[in-house]
Amino acid sequence: MAKGVKRDLKHSEEAVDPSIHSSDAKPSPPSKKCKTSPAVSATAASDDDDVRFIGKPVPADQAREKWPHRYESKKRVKVIVSSDGELEKEIVQAKCHYTKAVVDGVSFDLYDDAYVKAEEGHPDFIARIVEMFETVDKELYFSAQWFFRAEDTVIKSQAHLIEKRRVFYSEMKDDNPLDSIVSKVKIIQLPPNVDLVEKEKALSSYDLYYDMQYSKPVTFTTLHKENIITESGESSVISDDGSSNGVVESGNKNAKSTKSNEKGKSEMTLLDLYSGCGGMSTGLCYGANMSGVKLVTKWAVDIDPHACESLKQNHAETQVRNEAAEDFLFLLKEWEKLCKEFDLLGSKHDEDTSVKSEESDSEEVDEKRDPYEGEFEVQKLIAVCYGDPCKTNNQKLHFKVRWKGFGPSYDTWEPFDGLSNCMDSIREFVTRGYQSRILPLPGDVDFICGGPPCQGISGHNRFRNYTDPLKDPKNHQLVVYMDIIDFLRPKFVLMENVCDIVKFADGILGYHAVGRLVSMNYQTRLGIMAAGSFGVPQCRLRVFLWGANTMMNLPQFPLPTHEVVGRGVVPVEFKDCIVGSDNDKPHKLEKSILLGDAISDLPEVTNNNGKDEMEYAGAPRTSFQKYIRSRKPVLGKGSSKKMMLYDHRPLELNEDDYARVCHIPKIKGANFRDLPGVRVGKNNIVEWDPSVERVLLPSGKPLVPNYAMTFVRGTSKKPFGRLGMDDIVTTVVGRAEPHNQALLHPNQDRVLTIRENARLQGFPDHYKLCGPVKARYMQIGNAVSFSVSTGLGYTLAKAIEGVCTSKPLKLPVKFPDCLGQLSSLKQDIEE
């Protein structure tokens, strides 16, 4: 390679370094082409005033003290090889250092910012000059500390969300020929959340600004003046008395935040969007409480009525709303207007005031009165919603009215604009609702979590929009989720989604999510977590995105606690986002939890078992089972109420499917291929055995259905597949039909029960579900693994307590089994 050309530069189009104008999960400094082929030498500089160092060299003793790595060898390059022999780091050796240079007639000082030549057709790169030195080969070099434009980070194609003048500081550095400098650029560091007037005033004499740092893997964090080091110890930054904001430096793991934990042990409020049955929020609250932070799910929203019923069943303290997220956002905006109109904003909340029970309250009712005769008088308002509850094709604000003299069965939804003569009743309802916080207002919510459905990217959707997924209505909930965050502005955010969000259409939805949070000045961190890594027998992968406002510490991810196999596939760009994959200090992992560890203690049930409650058949056999049976905290350890087993019932298969299941051998891995008349041909493709007559069921239908033979072009072993007690399930799905999934119990002729699936997700046995059987399966399949959300709640609490680190955090020993012990200890203390 010719001298002066940066070493990692790839000349062929196929081998272009992806970090040049795209994000890498493990970002590298931008690659460049230099202005000239060879680096300018000191000898040449004497004849060419365009590129040279000026002034005296830095005294040798000072240079060696400040840049000792440059004076370790007389060879041009010193190569450092990592202990595993895989990584090489080349350090160019220096003859002497300088503090000033001239390039094309322009003078540059050490720590000036500059544009650096990029490849043809690309915008010049942006760097801070942090070293100037002449090499032992008499070549002129500078060391660049890079800034990233939004399009050069993981935000990529969604860079339009970020202001053009905004760049991102990084700690990534490399060495470059001095003549690759193009021109000066003036960059200022702005404090977080500076107001628009001050911002424009500060930028009047600068070209660009930065207020966040971008680092691997996919992390944006708030920068403060003390983080930026220059020769003089100062930085170009406008003053901000609140710039510390309680955020501690990333290197100090045990530092305490003065403002992050300002609530002390008081309650922190959580809004769970797309809540489902509550697996994510409940786990987060469990995990936070493990570390002493009282996190409470105050509000929850989901469009599925059965999931809402389940959440209410387990969380009586939560305001659960069964409505679309879009309608919820419109309602919040209308609610804020009403609170302003009645001069409530800023007044004190009264948590003891409640409107929750009013739907069942009523005055004396005249049962003989004809409800369709005479005038109606409003007794009171009992609920509010935005939408079309009366199915009139007219979306608007509605109140639920209790009519005087009539019971709850005559309650009706009435549009707000039709209640103009009832302003006293409206004022009374809004006042009570404000005091009891039936709806959150901006500033009320500490934490928003949720997994906006993106059905438009699902692999099950054959009509996916590859060109512009954001225009697909099925992906619109991601936008709605971010809009709700933008309106409520919580302190913390956590978004969960399937891995397709970073795989489909070059990961545009993932880039959009990160871009939206950063555009709202939220620090962000993206990670991919395998459920099996946290003590459950499944290897489902999910993407999680943390957000924290600039006043808070950005939460970390928890390190894996258990071995796991078969994590699934993620793009190379995001491989380092798998939590724990780059852990430089490996810790001992517990052995994988297997299917038998989770379900072997459960009573035998048959295909047509219809009981929602039953007694346990015996004592727990494993530590997992002991933990999963932990009593609900509200019962107390000494409660005389007998522990019951809920939802241990399977989907009742029809007669044909049940007959097929009974023919599947009770051997791990057995499936429809073991049925008579099926044989395996070339390339592992099934075919009919011509020597065997096709077996028919009593109904006249074939024992081996055609769809099993053709599934995945005849290569799949999943139809009517039987699990083994030593299996780890690929993922818990929302459907229980065994037609295209291995769902059969290892030694019983049925599919796994709702409770068995719930255990695979880590749900405690006391968590009771509601709705039809199929709806309960769907709730569990759609839920975030309880052990994963619990671990995330723990790391959230650590961030609130002041822990701020660039590395994932260790969970308590024997997680998640320790939760049962902690629960028992807590109950002992309370008693």
Q: How many CB atoms lie within 10 A of CB 234?
A: 11
The widest CA-to-CA distance across the chain, in whole angstroms, is: 109
Using the structure block, give the residue that is written with the tokens 């000898």.
Answer: 43
β-pairing, 396-403 with 208-215?
unpaired
Q: Position 399: which residue type?
A: F
Nearest to 51 by CA among 33, 63, 30, 36: 36
Q: Please tell me whether residue 667 adopts helix, strand or coil conformation.
A: coil
Integer Cα distance of 471 and 360 in angstroms? 43
Integer Cα distance of 737 and 509 in angstroms? 31
Q: How many CB atoms lie within 10 A of CB 53?
A: 22
- Tokens read off for 805: 């680190």
Q: Position 438: which residue type?
A: I
Q: What share of the chain is helix, strand, coil (3-state, %, to 5)?
A: 30, 20, 50
Nearest to 212 by CA among 241, 174, 246, 171: 171
Q: Please tell me whether residue 237 adopts helix, strand or coil conformation.
A: strand
Q: Please tell me whether residue 520 adopts helix, strand or coil conformation.
A: coil
ω into 217 cis (within 30 of 0): yes
* 138 touches 45 (CB < 8 A): no
Nearest to 247 by CA among 579, 555, 546: 555
* Residue 88, burial from CB neighbour count under 10 angstroms (0-12, 13-18, 19+): exposed
Using the structure block, give the residue that is written with the tokens 């709700």.
Answer: 484
ω into 816 cis (within 30 of 0): yes
* 673 touches 722 (CB < 8 A): no
Nearest to 211 by CA among 163, 175, 259, 253: 163
Integer Cα distance of 509 and 455 in angstroms? 12
β-pairing, 125-135 with 113-116?
antiparallel
Integer Cα distance of 9 and 7 in angstroms? 6
- Tokens read off for 27: 């970002």
Which alpha helices (H) appear in 342-465, and where do they start and end? 423-436
Nearest to 441 by CA among 320, 298, 336: 336
Integer Cα distance of 577 and 583 in angstroms? 11
For residue 79, give every residue at least 6 positions away whose Cβ sits within 8 Å of its Cβ, in sequence order, or none. 88, 89, 90, 91
Using the structure block, give the residue that is written with the tokens 């070493």.
Answer: 7
DSSP per-residue letters across 312-360: HHH-TTSEEEES-HHHHHHHHHHHHHHHHHTT-TTSPP-TT---GGGGG
Establish whether 454 is a catalytic residue.
yes
Q: Position 630: which residue type?
A: S
Residue tagged active-site, from 454, 499, 577, 770: 454
Render the burial of 450-478: b for 16+ CB within 10 Å, e for the rest.
bbbbbebbeeeeeebbeeebeebebbbbb
Integer Cα distance of 481 and 122 in angstroms? 34
Q: Cα dist. 21→15, 148, 185, 515 in Å?
A: 13, 10, 20, 16
Question: Residue 423, CB half-sphere, CA atoms under 13 Å: how many?
Answer: 5
Q: Position 651: which residue type?
A: L
Integer Cα distance of 741 and 717 in angstroms? 9
> Which residues form the catalytic set?
454
